[in-house]
Amino acid sequence: MVNMDFSKKLLQWSGRENVRHMPWKGEKNPYRIWLSEIILQQTRVEQGWAYYEKFIKSYPNLKSLASAKEKEVFKLWEGLGYYSRCRNLLATAKIIVREYKGVFPDNYEEILKLPGIGPYTAAAIASFAFGLPHAVVDGNVHRLLSRYFGIRMPMRSAKDKRLFQTLADALLDKKDPGKYNQAIMDFGALICKPANPLCTSCVQSKNCQAFQHQWVNILPLKEKMPARKERWFYYFIVTAGDGKYLIRERKDKDIWKNLYEFVLWETGKLMPQQQIRESGFVQENFGKTGFQILHISDEMMQILTHQTIHGCFVHIRLKKPARCLKNYLLIPADQLDQYPFPGLISSYLKSGIIT
């Protein structure tokens, strides 16, 4: 049987050759597994590793995370992107403390109800922590199964996802689901890689449809990406000359919610420096003559999955407090590093332009 052959060879490979080391591998503590899985959503292992260690050090258990200050958790998450994960992390920790007496739920259905946890993460926690028979289907597994079985289907619709989930569940070793799930993910990451998979030395090559029919480079079928949105953010770094700066928390339903920023003017296009100086935004917020523009930075850029953010920083000194002041916090320069900022702003601050 091909299926049995696939699973058997996968486990044999894992036992003999799988040397992939990660700090959460083999972990049984559901809190640590959950933390690592949330960090690894949309993040490469190499980047997530240091964040995982920082979080475990600062919040060694679920209760310490649930009672942490939101601003501090976001600060620790800074640079990792996809901040909804951080919001969900905090929400889930609080729910477990409040509704489950601080004990991580030990069944798939309850785990799946928690914020930020989809079928993949629920299966990972259920199988790694509790040995439950739920197969993981992430990008690695989708790629490997598409190639091995010659399936020409992306993972776009609910129907596509169901097909891959059914197949993965059928292949799962029910005796040790955690070990099997780890093996299939590692195999996808180390052997059946997105580019240059190691087909000639692969233990699955004999029955692999993609290898046998030269489909390796066309499988898995890719999803069409939506058009990228371009946005222009002009940040005014405002001070009244007393070494304090205006910042506020982003609260709207948009990118970077809960992170902090300087006074923002979002325009639909690139603005030449002269237009920034003479713009209605500047005059409305800072008056016609009550300010001095000290410096305008070069354009910077942050690329997100579906958006490109063009950013520019305008240093401005006010003669007296501006109208926009009331919605902002006034923070001394040496305390700015205590606040979580989007990557665009934190890299600008790291250049030491504000001291």
Q: Quick one: which segment of 14-22, 60-68, 106-114, 143-151 binds ligand SF4 (CB under 6 A)?
A: 143-151
In the complex with ligand SF4, the residue whose CB is nearer, 200 or 274, is 200
CA distance linking residue 314 with residue 276, whole number of Å: 9
Q: Does 192 bind ligand SF4 (CB under 6 A)?
A: yes
Q: Can residue 29 be called a binding residue for ligand SF4 (CB under 6 A)?
A: no
Angstrom distance (rounded) from CA 136 to CA 214:
27
Three-state secondary structure call for residue 76? helix
Residue 23 or 154: the one with the smaller Cβ distance to ligand SF4 is: 154
Q: Does 182 bind ligand SF4 (CB under 6 A)?
A: no
DSSP classification of residue 332: E
**Does residue 45 bind ligand SF4 (CB under 6 A)?**
no
109 flagged as catalytic: no
Query: Considering only residues 148, 233, 256, 291, which one is a binding residue for ligand SF4 as defined by CB under 6 A?
Result: 148
> Strands 244-249 and 329-332: what pairing?
antiparallel
Residue 37 in tokens = 């899985």
Among 33, 210, 237, 259, binds ligand SF4 (CB under 6 A): 210
The C-alpha atoms of residue 148 and residue 178 are separated, in whole angstroms, by: 21
Please state, as a whole number, how many other Cβ atoms lie within 10 Å of the Cβ of residue 48. 22
Smallest gap from Cβ 6 to ligand SF4, in A, equals: 9
**What is the rounded distance in angstroms from the CA atom of residue 7 to the CA atom of residue 173?**
7
Among 198, 294, 301, 333, binds ligand SF4 (CB under 6 A): 198
Query: Which of residues 90, 132, 136, 208 is near ligand SF4 by CB under 6 A?
Result: 208
Which run of H or of E encompasses 38? helix 30-40
Q: Is 199 in the site for ligand SF4 (CB under 6 A)?
A: yes
Q: Residue by residue, what is the 3-state secondary structure of 229-291?
A: EEEEEEEEEEECCCCEEEEEECCCCCCCCCCEECEEEEECCCCCHHHHHHCHHHHHHHCCCCE
The count of other CB atoms within 10 Å of the CB of residue 71 is: 14
| Catalytic, out of 17, 37, 249, 278 | 37
Of the pair 68, 216, the CB lying nearest ligand SF4 is at 216
Determine which helix (DSSP H) or strand (DSSP E) holds 302, and give its type and residue range.
strand 300-303
Calpha distance 238→225 (Å, rounded): 38
Q: Binding segment for ligand SF4 among 94-102, 166-174, 201-209, 333-341 (CB under 6 A)?
A: 201-209
- Nearest distance from residue 118's CB to ligand SF4, in Å? 25
Q: What does the alpha-carbon distance between residue 118 and residue 130 come to, in Å, rounded to a whole number? A: 17
Q: How far is the CB of 48 from ligand SF4 (least distance, A)?
A: 24
* Least Cβ distance, residue 189 to ligand SF4 (angstroms): 11
Residue 205 is a binding residue for ligand SF4 (CB under 6 A): yes
Q: Which of 211, 233, 265, 348 binds ligand SF4 (CB under 6 A)?
A: 211
Query: Which residue numbers are catalytic?
Result: 37
> Could you list the residues that contact ligand SF4 (CB under 6 A)?
144, 147-148, 191-192, 197-199, 202, 204-205, 208, 210-211, 216
